[in-house]
Amino acid sequence: MPEGLIIKALSGYYYVLPDAPGADSVQCRARGVFKIKGIMPLVGDRVIYETEESGEGTVVQILPRTSELIRPPISNVNLAVLIFSLVEPDLNLTLLDKFLVHTESSGVDAVICLSKLDLLESEDRVLSCGFTIAEIRSVYEQIGYEIIPVSIKTKEGVQRVRDRIQGSISVFAGQSGVGKSSLLNAIMPRLQLETGSISMRLGRGKHTTRHVELLPLEKGGFVADSPGFSQLDFMQIEAEELGKSFREFGSFASDCKFRGCLHAQEPGCAVIRAKQEGRIAGHRYANYLQFLQEIKDRKRRY
């Protein structure tokens, strides 16, 4: 039976791109056994499928995944391009850190794009989050993340993003209205994806992308646009694992006094000491404590 790649999932159908060069995608259903086992095919899955006389097909096997993201739901991604606008909507560092926790826990590398650079009167402006662009870059680049400021209007940063995603399977993710589809249009003008405006009353964007779909790149690889959203939970992450998703904690955690330290209020915690000494950013540690409490509250509800 043939193998292929799920490039789109929509209304219960999975569109599988065969491995055969030049072949068109095959519209497939999934076998009922997947639902019984609590398994759902995802965009990005490599699958084995069988075809019918009608030309449609059935996904019969999902091949092992190298990575899996819950939101957006996609598998086998090498790179997540996290797009956060500096203004309209205002930069949300708490949501950014949530995205980074999810990419880290899934083993997916991340690049942070700071969009709408042209809407700032000055790059020295203090943003609503309390930091300048330079200060944000300093914090996250020291942790080990690549930061790319982007302006669709001036094209600044667009080529850097285009070069970064070539040859990989990447996903564009972020809240509504930050310019994901606009950036994709700038990188791949032939797409002409629908873009939306910002609701000034709500301060957030309208959803223009309604499903996850892999789009082929000219020089190899795929990129996925995804629906925007403003909420992200921690259903798949336990309290004991959260600290591992904060990269900067790693070099200090091994020196904590107690094994299994949650870095909250334990005596002899090297992470707390590093934060007090200014070696861990205060807002990152505050977000860690907030996420830890969310996970604990979730366990109480269940």
Residue 261, marked binder = yes
Closest residue by Cα to residue 284 from 83, 145, 162, 166: 145
Q: Is 113 annotated as a binding residue?
A: no
Instruction: Establish whether 243 is an annotated binding residue.
Output: no
Confirm whether residue 231 is marked as ligand binding.
Answer: no
Rounded CA-CA distance 12/215 in Å is: 19
- Residue 197 known to bind ligand: no
Whether residue 269 is annotated as binding a ligand: the answer is yes
- 116 marked as part of a ligand binding site: yes
192 labelled as ligand-binding? Answer: no
| Residues recorded for the chain | 302
DSSP string, 235-261: TT--HHHHGGGSGGGHHHHTT-SSTT-
Q: Is the dihedral of CA 101, 106, 109, 112 positive or negative?
A: negative
Three-class SS of residue 23? coil
- And the tokens for 214? 């892999």
Q: At what angle do helices 93-106 and 282-301 cross, to 10 degrees?
A: 70
Interatomic CA distance for residues 210 and 233, integer angstroms: 20
Q: Is 174 annotated as a binding residue?
A: yes
DSSP 8-state secondary structure symbol assigned to residue 56: -
Is 299 marked as a binding-site residue?
Answer: no
Question: Considering only CA atoms, which of 116, 111, 109 is closest in space to residue 141?
Answer: 111
CB 157 within 8 A of CB 183: no
Judge whether 263 is annotated as a binding position: yes
- B/e letters for 161-193, b = 16+ CB within 10 Å, e = fewer, are bbebbeeebbbbbbbbbbbbbbbbbbbbeeeeb
What residues are paired with 147 via a beta bridge?
112
Residue 144 marked ligand-binding: no
- Phi then psi for residue 181, to 5 deg, are -65, -35
179 marked among binding-site residues: yes
Please name the residues in contact with 270: beta carbons below 8 A apart, sequence gap of 6 or more: 252, 253, 254, 255, 256, 257
Annotated binding residues, as ranges?
Answer: 115-118, 174-182, 256, 261, 263, 269
Annotated binding residues for Zn(2+), as ranges?
Answer: 256, 261, 263, 269
Annotated binding residues for GTP, as ranges?
Answer: 115-118, 174-182
